[in-house]
Amino acid sequence: MPVLRRFLGTAEGIAGGAILLAIAITAVLASVLFPGDPLAIVAEPMLQPFQHQDAILGTDRLGRDVLAELVHGARTSLLVGLAAAFAAIAVGATVGTIAGFAGGLVDEALMRVTEAFQTVPGFLLALALVSVVGPSLPVVVTAIAASAWTQPARIARAEVLSIRERDYVASARAIGMHPAEIAFREVLPNALPPVLTLASVIVANAILIEAALSFLGLGDPNIVTWGGMIAEGRVVLRGAPYLSIFPGLALVATVLGVYLTGEGVVEALASGRSR
Amino acid sequence: MNRALRLVRRRLITAIPVIGLVIIGAFLLLEAAPGDAVDAYILSLGGADANMVAELRASWGLDQSPWARLLAYLAALARGDLGWSVSFSRPILDIILERLPNTLLLMSASTALSFMLGSALGIFAGARPGSLRDRLLSVGSLALYAIPGFWLALVLVIFFSINLRWLPLSGIETIASGKHGFDRALDIGRHLVLPVASLGIIYLALYLRMMRAGMAEVWRQDFIRAAQAKGLSRQRIVLRHVARNALLPVVTMLGLQSAAMLGGSVVIESVFAVPGLGRLASEAVASRDTPLLLGIVLVSALVVIAINLMVDIAYALLDPRVGAAEAS
């Protein structure tokens, strides 16, 4: 695994990997660390942080354990971020491959649709979709993906345009392979690497959009989200600012971890190529 | 100038199908939303009998096929009629036009802040690629970019409005202050400091990184070596040769970022209760006013197209190569 070794050789890779690993482990073990419903009332409301043993980070307005909520919130953030990014890249790569490989009118039509999606501010689009369909986790993921698939589509298309002229594509045609098979089995896999370098930015953006949606009250109401916690804490901003500050710090750490990991991967791949 | 005009004409022609698609998308969402314009209107009247409802549907063309409804929707849009907002009991276009200037003010101030500060810091970092300050600024800008805008806004409020009491908590001006002219402008300015800072600081990172990356690229080119050999001072090389050549791609980002800024202004305006388009969007969501929300989506798409057009013109004026190829 030379790429992994090079990745761990970069400062960004180590820092980002460590942050993400810690948050991922927390998310996976959430139900073990804090069994039961994190939205259940466990103690007196508005306990100060770092003063009580059973609620280390204190409790919120309703007496819910802030630390339990934070730990379970990690799950939502990572899940939504990864699922939305996966959907965005899958849709984007497919659309981009079809546009680039088919060319002509199909290409023209698909690119106009892509442009239309890019013209509407992504956050407003997600907001409109969730507000029309109703807030639930799958809808939030779909809405975020709908606002994020355009960039992968453009990059995949540009890549496919250059790949489709290569010799191996011509020979695939010569042996009578179906065009769809050439596009998705020969061309698409080779067009993916530059699209995947975008993955970290897309995951990070997805996490931030999910947080903003939940902050505006458009998250799934039955699931703990960091954005929702910040909105809750905002009501008592004067008396208990930490209720808004803690989940925000968790968000910053997660997104920074994603960015740093992405930087580390890009650096590792670049140094591998130059050698 | 001819060159810029040709560019504008070509951009406008490609913008038409894009706007058409956005309108169709808005129409589809409107159809998907529960209830229609008549339901909304009846609700604002406080109820009506079934006969009247059926008559209204017929006279508004809502009992017809989806295609006919789409045509009616397009005809209404062509007249500048975005529909009726139930939650405000006013025409949607009027509300939007009333709120738009505040958002444009917020956006332009934030863009100016992030572009100027960001590219200045980018020049500072890119002047010596690989140096300590370059690495610190690069990681620092990543950290900035990782901050959710609404959370930064709340943290700034905690510091500057609640603890230090330096700046107002929310709104765009002091209500019923009776201020005029310069005093009023100053009052609005004070109210805008925190929203502009929250929106601007985050996007600053983007300009910083683009500027730095562009400069690192330019440093490797031959004419820089020539400038060094000629004995030009380092400062002159950095500013006149490296930074200047790296600036153009950063200018294109201004247009591309306008959509992100508009999206970001939704949460920032909600936090600071700035009566702009973004806050209107969250109000529309809260009161389930889908026609209003989609009106905002349409208008913001138009704003984004207009801003990109202006950036294209600026780009053509700055770089004589742009659009020159099509002249022949």
Residue A87 sits in a domain whose CATH number is: 1.10.3720.10
pLDDT truncated to tens, each residue of chain A (275 aa)?
677 888 887 888 888 889 999 999 988 888 887 777 777 777 777 777 777 777 677 777 777 888 888 888 899 999 999 999 999 999 999 999 999 988 889 999 999 999 999 999 989 999 999 988 888 899 999 999 999 999 999 999 999 988 888 888 888 888 888 888 888 888 888 888 888 888 999 999 999 999 999 999 888 888 889 998 998 888 888 778 888 889 999 999 999 999 999 888 888 887 766 55
Of A113, A129, A248, the CB nearest to B21: A113
Is A235 within 8 Å of chain B by CB? Answer: no
Does residue B8 lie in a domain region? Answer: no
Q: What is the pLDDT of residue A67?
A: 85
* Minimal-distance CA residue of chain A relative to B145: A256
Measured from the Cβ of residue B240, the count of other Cβ atoms closer than 10 Å reads 13
Please identify among residues 228-267 of chain B the ones whose CB lies closer than 8 Å to any CB of chain A.
259-260, 262-264, 266-267
Q: Look at A119 and B259 and tell me if their CB atoms are within 8 Å.
A: yes
For residue A71, give Cα distances in angstroms to A38, A250, A259, B67, B307.
9, 9, 21, 50, 42
Residues of A within 8 A of B13 (CB-CB) are none
Please tell me if residue B77 touches chain A, with a CB cutoff of 8 Å.
no
Contact A252 B148 (CB under 8 A): yes
B137 reaches A (C-beta below 8 A): no
Q: Which long-range contacts (CB under 8 A, 24 or more apart) does B126-133 make?
A: B126/B211, B126/B212, B126/B213, B126/B214, B126/B215, B126/B216, B126/B219, B126/B242, B126/B243, B126/B246, B127/B215, B127/B238, B127/B242, B129/B212, B129/B215, B129/B216, B129/B219
Decide if B52 is inside a domain.
no
- Whether residue A120 and residue B301 make contact (CB cut-off 8 A), yes or no, is yes
Cβ within 8 Å, pair A216-B266? yes
Token pair recorded at residue B115 = 């572009």
The pLDDT value recorded for residue A150 is 92
Closest CA to B15 of B291, B285, B273, B255: B255
Tell me, what's the pLDDT at B328? 38
Burial of B98 (0-12, 13-18, 19+ CB in 10 A): middle
pLDDT value of position B322: 67
The confidence score (pLDDT) of residue B327 equals 44
How many CB atoms lie under 10 A from the CB of residue A248? Answer: 22
Q: Within an 8 Å CB–CB cutoff, is residue B290 touching chain A?
A: yes
A119·B22 Cβ contact <8 A: yes
Binary contact (A121, B259; C-beta < 8 A): yes
Provide the domain limits for residue B243. 92-286
Residues of chain B with pLDDT under 50: 327-328
Residue B132 lies in a domain: yes
Q: For chain B, what is the domain count? A: 1
Q: Do A119 and B288 touch (CB under 8 A)?
A: no
> Is there a contact between A245 and B148 (Cβ–Cβ < 8 Å)?
no
In the three-class reduction of DSSP (H, G, I as helix; E, B as strand; rest coil), residue B277 is classed as helix
Q: How many domains does chain A have?
A: 1
Q: Nearest CA to A261 among A76, A54, A14? A: A14
Chain B residues close to A238, C-beta within 8 Å: 162
Contact A244 B143 (CB under 8 A): no
Confidence check on the interface: ipTM exceeds 0.95, yes or no: no
- A267 shares contact with chain B (CB less than 8 Å): no
What's phi and psi for A174, nearest 5 deg?
Answer: -65, -35
Predicted pLDDT at B323: 61
- Contact list, B18 vs chain A (CB under 8 Å): 112, 115-116, 119
The A residues from 20 to 79 touching B (CB cutoff 8 Å) are none
Asked if residue B105 is part of any domain, the answer here is: yes
Task: Give B 153-212 residues with CB within 8 A of chain A.
Answer: 154-155, 157-158, 162
Asked if A119 lies within 8 A of B267 by C-beta distance, the reply is no
User: Does B74 reside within a domain?
Assistant: no
- Judge whether B137 lies within some domain: yes
Cβ–Cβ below 8 Å for B148 and A211: yes
Interface test with chain B among A131, A147, A237, A274, by most B beta carbons within 10 Å: A131
Q: Does A129 touch chain B (CB under 8 A)?
A: yes
Is A120 in contact with B300 (Cβ distance < 8 A)? yes
**Cβ–Cβ below 8 Å for B143 and A252:** yes
A218, closest residue in chain B (CA to CA) = B285
The pTM for the full model equals 0.88
| CB contacts, 8 Å: A119 with chain B | 18-19, 22, 259, 301, 304-305
Q: In this complex, is the C-beta atom of A216 within 8 Å of any C-beta atom belonging to chain B? A: yes
DSSP H helix total and E strand total for chain A? 14, 0
Q: How many whole angstroms separate alpha carbon B262 and alpha carbon A216? A: 16
Q: Is A216–B285 a contact, with Cβ atoms under 8 angstroms apart?
A: yes
Which CATH number covers residue B143? 1.10.3720.10
Q: A216 and B145 in contact by Cβ < 8 A? A: no
* B chain contacts of residue A260, beta-carbon cutoff 8 Å: 142
Cβ contact A116–B18 (<8 Å): yes
Name the 3-class secondary structure at A56: coil
Q: Is B62 an 8 Å CB contact of chain A?
A: no
Q: Which of B13, B16, B18 to mutate to test the interface with A (most CBs of A within 10 A)?
A: B18
Selection from A161, A152, A159 nearest residue A195 by Cα: A152
- Determine the residue of chain A that is closest to B277 in CA distance: A124
CB pairs under 8 A between A and B: 137
Kindly state whether A146 is in contact with chain B, defined as any CB-CB distance less than 8 angstroms.
no
What range defines the domain where residue A209 resides? 2-274
Here the tokens at position B201 are 């600081």
